[in-house]
Amino acid sequence: MSSLFTKIRQGEIPGHKIWDDGRCFAILTIEPIREGHLLVIPYEEVDHWVDMNDDTTAHVFQVSRLLSETMAELFPCEKVGMMIAGLEVRHTHIHLVPIQAIADLNFALAKPREDALQAETAVKIRQRLIEKGQSDHVPSA
C-alpha cells in the first residue's frame, strides 16, 4: 500500500508541492512549526532513513540543502533546522524548518495553518526556486 506521502506526490491527496525531480519531492507540512516548514521525501518508500541507499541519501540531502538556502532567503531565521523523526509517517522524510533558536525545533509548536496561507507560501518558495534556475524541478500548483 502506498504511503500518505506517495499519495500526495501522485495527486491522490491534495498537498502543496514545492519540488519534484523524479527521485525526491518536497511538500509543505500540513501542521507547520513555522511558516515555510516543509518535508523532503524520497520517492522510494523506506521506513528508516538509515536504510536508504547511499545515492538516495546524498541526493535527498543535496536537495535539502538547496531548499534550506532558498527558505533562508524568504523567511526571517537564524538558520534552517533539519529533523528526521520518522514516527508519524513510515516513509523517510526530512523536516526543514526556519528557526531562531533550538527550542523552535519542537513538534509541540506545530499547528494547522489555513490552506490559503499555505498556498501563498508554496507560491513564494516555487517562485524563488524558478528565479534560481530550478524550474525543471518546480511542479505547477
- Which one of the listed residues 16, 91, 93, 137 is annotated catalytic? 93
Give residues with Cβ within 8 angstroms of 27, minimum separation 6. Answer: 5, 8, 9, 15, 16, 17, 18, 38, 39, 41
Can you tell me the distance from the alpha carbon of 8 to that of 17, in angstroms, rounded to the nearest whole number? Answer: 8
Q: Which residue has the cell 524563488?
A: 128
Cα–Cα separations (whole angstroms), residue 117 to 2, 7, 50, 97: 28, 22, 34, 16
Cα–Cα separations (whole angstroms), residue 61 to 13, 26, 112, 120: 25, 12, 26, 25
137 is catalytic: no
The residues assigned a catalytic role are 93
